[in-house]
Chains A and B, each alone.
Chain A
Amino acid sequence: MLLKGNEALALAAIRYGVDAYYGYPITPQSEIMETLIAQKPWESTGMTVLQAESEVAAINMVYGTAATGRMAMTSSSGPGISLMQNGISYLCGANLPCLIVNVMRGGPGLGTISPSQADYFQATRGGGHGDYRTLVLAPSSVQEMADFVAIAFQWAFRYRNPAMILADGTIGQMMEKVTLPPFQQRLTASEVAKLHTWASTGRREGQQRNIVSSLDLDPAAMELKCLNREQRYQVAIDNDARHQAIHCDDAEILIVAFGSAARICTKTVQLARQQGIRAGLFRPITLWPFPAQALRQAAQHAQHILVVELNAGQMIDDVRLALTTQNNPTTTPNLPNTSNHPNTPTITHYGRLGGVVFTPEEILNHIKNIHTAPPTQTAPPTQTTPPTQTAPSTPPH
């Protein structure tokens, strides 16, 4: 079936047996709600689809539905996701599962409706107040827009935490052939009650009441709740980080890119290989947990790491953390240590901003510059060079 990314995601949600969608229109993702409504899933699977009065209301409707043990989702783009952050924090605080889809556009502010990856920090650092993370999947094809719905919900319920699909305008709007998942029945009320004993669905005779809440005024009790969350996150870090590696085994120049940027860079790697440049692509599929261990593996022979993003340099922080952190025990009890990398390749960034999308050739030219750069050369003018970036001190070859 030939579908837009946004359409594929919507159809996959119906087929996966999602119970409710709440959303507010915003470009470039309004097709998600429109596709859902056109399908009238309330007549087939019984799914609720409701246009909310704002993103704030939408995320709180998600919270209400999630509190009853049901699969709830919403979708938006940067400005709307910012409005949802308070609700996302409450969802994390109350240990509620849900799916949030962000089809990114350029920002900040009203910005532009063109594709961007500028919400990486917001998605991977939590985004709202308090200690929390969301589980973030970054699709780079229409097929993945469809497939990640199921994965996101499975993880959201496993870890009792919101999951996010972080796409961008390109992935949301482009058309590709896609195989949709098979239809799956929605859970019945008694199945939900049995599976999710924590859910507030009405106290049963003789049982204790359920209170879905993120509040606890006792610091000791609250610390335990926070540590419990961190332990769940650690299980996710250990088990669910995903990536895709293309020609990484012998790569001297390793591109790290996600989502639509990774798609473009796949072509760049092809072109580079044809010209005898040993380039490879490492694509984090989960942005949080970040596939740090796999990246260290993939970067073993790399002399230069080029992080390519449609932003001013955000994921590069995680690449640096993965490749350069020393063994640095954390002082928070029961939290894991970070591990280190024996040798540190040069790490630079290439990005386009404001909705401008680079071409494979543009990245290739940039790689060639790195490839032939004399030892003292500073970053070329097209390169976004955040102030904290280390300029190459040794030649890559």
Chain B
Amino acid sequence: MLLYKKPSLLTDTNMHYCPGCSHAVVNKIIAEVLEEMNIGTENIIGVSPVGCGVFIYNYIDIDWVEAAHGRAPAVATGVKRMNPDKLVFTYQGDGEVTAIGTGEVIHACNRGENIAIIFINNAVFGMTNGQMAPTTPLGMKTTTCPDGRDPQLNGYPLPMAQLFADIQGTCYVTRQAVNTYKAVKNTKKAIRRAFDYSLQRKGTSVVEIICACPTNWKMTPVEANKYISDFSVKTFPLGDLKRP
């Protein structure tokens, strides 16, 4: 009996992600969902980010456009407007969505671009060695807030998903995680919904995924996943914020 098989759209390239990194889990979920949708790769175009997720184009066997840091929603707009019938999605980290690319993502949502935004929130800048992000929880230590994030100095964790939910152009906004088996299953369902809504041209879908960066959190993968259940979800509660 076949218990498990690698998704056909996942390439054999060795992933560069650190052990226990949530990126690898989400990459695989996306490959599974795309395979299960069975719409043909000629109908899928991904837009990849700058950050730890940059090399997703080496792992999922579809056409990709690599965007400048934070600009993926604008790039995806340019792709989607030329290919209104195809599935166009971005894969972006919290540096992109909540810092440098806030303008692009808010306005893509506000135009109701029929794209899906997969938003990896691991609370730090992973690729550049773990600096503070706008999503860093209060008290969390990073290289640029070594004493823990202090709201007097650095403000508060930015609740982007709430903003997205308030924007009329979005149709689906949800916050999920991949730190447990159940969470992975929910995330997969959420990504499938987001992709379906995009194809049905219901508006912009955003799937925020609370992710672990064990390397920069200076935790083991198990500790990092536990941290998400125990602490991260207090700052960023899981669940749907908006459904069509």
Contacts and interface: CB of A to CB of B under 8 A. Distances in A.
A61 B106 CA distance: 15
Interface string A193-227: 00000001111110001111111000000000000
A87 interface: yes
Nearest to A210: B63
A203 B63 contact: yes
Nearest to B63: A200
B145 interface: no
B61 A203 contact: yes
A19 interface: yes
Contacts of B75: 60-61, 63-64, 67
A188 to B, nearest CB: 12
B184 interface: no
B64 A213 contact: yes
Nearest to A63: B75
Interface residues on A, range: 35 or more
Interface in A157-215: 200-205, 209-215
Contacts of A58: 74
B54 interface: yes
Interface string A225-269: 000000000000000000000000000000000000000000000
Interface string B2-33: 00000000000000000000000000000000
Nearest to B110: A53
B141 interface: no
Given A54-B103, A61-B75, A203-B42, A67 B62 contact: no
A203 B40 CA distance: 8
B42, B74, B80: residue with the most chain A Cβ atoms closer than 10 Å: B74
B77 to A, nearest CB: 5
A58 B68 CA distance: 13
B77 A61 contact: yes
A61 B72 CA distance: 9
A47 to B, nearest CB: 10
Contacts of A6: none
B83 A68 contact: yes
Contacts of A19: 82
A57 B40 contact: no
A379 interface: no
B57 interface: yes
B78 A60 contact: yes
Given A86-B68, A204-B41, A61 B63 contact: no
Given A60-B104, A87-B71, A205-B41, A48 B65 contact: no
B79 A65 contact: yes
A64 B74 contact: yes
A60 B67 contact: yes
Contacts of A15: none
B164 to A, nearest CB: 15
A201 B57 contact: no
Contact of B63 (A56, A60, A209): A209
B65 A64 contact: yes
A211 B66 contact: yes
B66, B75, B76, B78: residue with the most chain A Cβ atoms closer than 10 Å: B78
A54 B104 CA distance: 9
A283 B116 CA distance: 50
B238 interface: no
Interface string B37-73: 0001111110110000010010001111111100100
Given A64-B65, A209-B64, A50 B77 contact: yes
B107 interface: yes
A60 B74 contact: yes
B188 interface: no
Interface in A346-385: none
B9 to A, nearest CB: 10
Contacts of B44: 202-203
A53 B77 CA distance: 12
B82 A20 contact: yes
B78 A203 contact: no
Nearest to A204: B42
A71 to B, nearest CB: 10
6 contacts: A63-B74, A67-B65, A68-B79, A87-B68, A203-B63, A213-B48
Lowest 6 A-B CB distances belong to which pairs? Answer: A64-B78, A213-B66, A60-B74, A64-B75, A202-B42, A65-B78
